Amino acid sequence: MTRGTKLAAVVKANAYGHGTAEVAPFAAAHADWLAVHTAEEARRLRRLGLSSPVLIMGFMARGELHDLDADVHVFVSTDEVLRWLGEYRRSSGISLPIHLKIDTGTKRQGFERSRIADVCRTAAGEGLSIVGIATHFANIEDTLEHDFARRQLALFGDAVAALRRELSSDVPYVHAACSAASLLFRETDFNLARIGISMYGHWPSRETRLTWILDHGRNGVKLEPALAWRTVIGQFQHVATGETVGYGRTWRALRATRLAVLPVGYADGYARALSNRARVLVGGRPVPVVGRVCMNMMMVDVTDVPEAAVGDEVVLLGRQGDAAVTAEELAELSGTINYEFLCRLSPAIPRFVVGDAGEVAAR
Ligand SMILES: *Cc1c(COP(=O)(O)O)cnc(C)c1O
């Protein structure tokens, strides 16, 4: 990020699955802002005792506008939300500061640039202040071609100029960058950057990492995943040659096999698509998941780890000895991306913060 740019630590979706209660206090101590998707997530941050300015980036339903203080800023991309914010101001006396979300080609959220003058008039009529302007890129993560991002950036520049003219003043907060944008395009930093996945120690995508390496070489940014996911061996099963394992009998033993049963399943976020595909670490060695992943249990083949015992640590995600399993690997094996794999980790899994750097370990 550029010096002088303020950092909004994105802690939506249970802090990308890492745990809001564990991550947000650490993020609040190191970042200027916290960014979330919903009003309820903003209230949760306040209940955790955090007083940082908060940016609500997602949709706002009318019923969600309550118990929000004046340090909670809101992305506005519809006339309805503008009106509801006006009603909230009249009923509570609290005017939530507005950041105009401008659509520059993502076609997800945001006003057309041509609406800026008219939106400014409505906001003024409702007694609301526009303190920021923002956009979000459509195609920075998934590609090595960044022409579309540059076009979006140019359109955003026009929108910022239009808003300045309309308000006859500078706009305090101008922001467009997510992790990939901030990593690859310094010029997207403006004065606030909304950083999610890279804060948790993950590259947004292989393409982002490749683009970085092509532009800067291998050195410079080293991202270390903050989260590890561990469990223990619950019990063993002995399977004779030819016997099958689990629901649907999808795995058949080609040798006398010792299975370890683990108390983790797809309800915890270990995707069922990983059945017969993924590996976990036992005794510092990768061992295969065999049979279908069940709702709350799964089986792994530990025949080649004879010393394994009930209660031994099993690493589902993270390092053990010299071996590692990454979120990227599990995401790819289950047909998704690291973002989805991480934020689907069940909030019910106990999380423990370990290490000085506030490394978050989920067990
Ligand atoms: C989630 C989100 C971000 C953060 O994106 P990362 O790729 O995780 O850095 C930034 N801006 C908006 C609007 C978002 O929804």
Shared-domain flag, residues 123 and 146: yes
**What pLDDT does 101 receive?**
97
**What pLDDT does 145 receive?**
81
Q: Is residue 253 part of a domain?
A: yes
Task: Ligand 1, residue 109: give the atom nearest the CA.
Answer: 13
Alpha carbon of 12 to ligand 1 centroid (Å): 9
12, 101, 200, 270: which one is catalytic? 12
Shared-domain flag, residues 305 and 342: yes
Shared-domain flag, residues 256 and 195: no
10 lines ligand 1 (CB under 6 A): yes
195 lines ligand 1 (CB under 6 A): yes
**What pLDDT does 4 receive?**
87
Shared-domain flag, residues 234 and 211: no
Tell me the C-alpha distance between 116 and 103, whole Å.
11
Dihedral sign (CA 255, 258, 264, 267): positive
Measure the CA angle with vertex 362, ends 357 and 363; round to 5°.
130
Shared-domain flag, residues 186 and 288: no
Query: SS3 for 329?
Result: helix
Q: Is residue 124 part of a domain?
A: yes
27 lines ligand 1 (CB under 6 A): no
What total number of domains does the chain contain? 2
17 lines ligand 1 (CB under 6 A): no
Q: Is residue 76 part of a domain?
A: yes
Where among 193, 216, 239 does a domain terminate? 216
Where among 187, 216, 245 does a domain terminate? 216
Where among 181, 216, 251 does a domain terminate? 216
107, 173, 247, 270: which one is catalytic? 247
Q: Is residue 22 part of a domain?
A: yes
Predicted confidence (pLDDT) per residue in 256-305, tens digit? 999 999 999 999 999 999 999 999 999 999 999 999 999 999 999 999 99
Shared-domain flag, residues 14 and 88: yes
Best residue among 194, 195, 198 to mutate for probing ligand 1, ranked by most atoms within 8 Å of CB: 194
Q: Is residue 104 part of a domain?
A: yes
Whether 247 is catalytic is: yes
Shared-domain flag, residues 170 and 243: no
Query: SS3 for 147?
Result: helix
**What pLDDT does 356 receive?**
61
Packing angle of the helix pair 116-125, 79-92 (nearest 10 deg): 20
Whether 339 is catalytic is: no
Q: What's 335's domain CATH number?
A: 2.40.37.10
Residue nearest to atom 3 of ligand 1 (CA): 178
Q: Is residue 224 part of a domain?
A: no
Q: What's 116's domain CATH number?
A: 3.20.20.10
Its domain, for residue 293, covers: 229-362
Q: Is residue 307 part of a domain?
A: yes
Alpha carbon of 178 to ligand 1 centroid (Å): 5
Shared-domain flag, residues 200 and 268: no
Shared-domain flag, residues 317 and 189: no
Predicted structure pTM score? 0.95
**What pLDDT does 221 receive?**
84
Contacts by 337-342 with C-beta closer than 8 Å and gap 24+? 337/205, 338/197, 338/202, 338/203, 339/16, 339/197, 339/204, 341/269, 341/271, 342/16, 342/17, 342/18, 342/200, 342/202, 342/227
Element holding 30 (H helix, E strand): helix 20-30
**What pLDDT does 215 receive?**
87
Q: Is residue 42 part of a domain?
A: yes
Shared-domain flag, residues 49 and 187: yes
Q: Could you say which residues of the chain have pLDDT below 70? A: 356-363
Shared-domain flag, residues 83 and 180: yes
Tell me the C-alpha distance between 6 and 132, whole Å.
13
Residue nearest to atom 6 of ligand 1 (CA): 196
Residue nearest to atom 8 of ligand 1 (CA): 196
Shared-domain flag, residues 355 and 236: yes
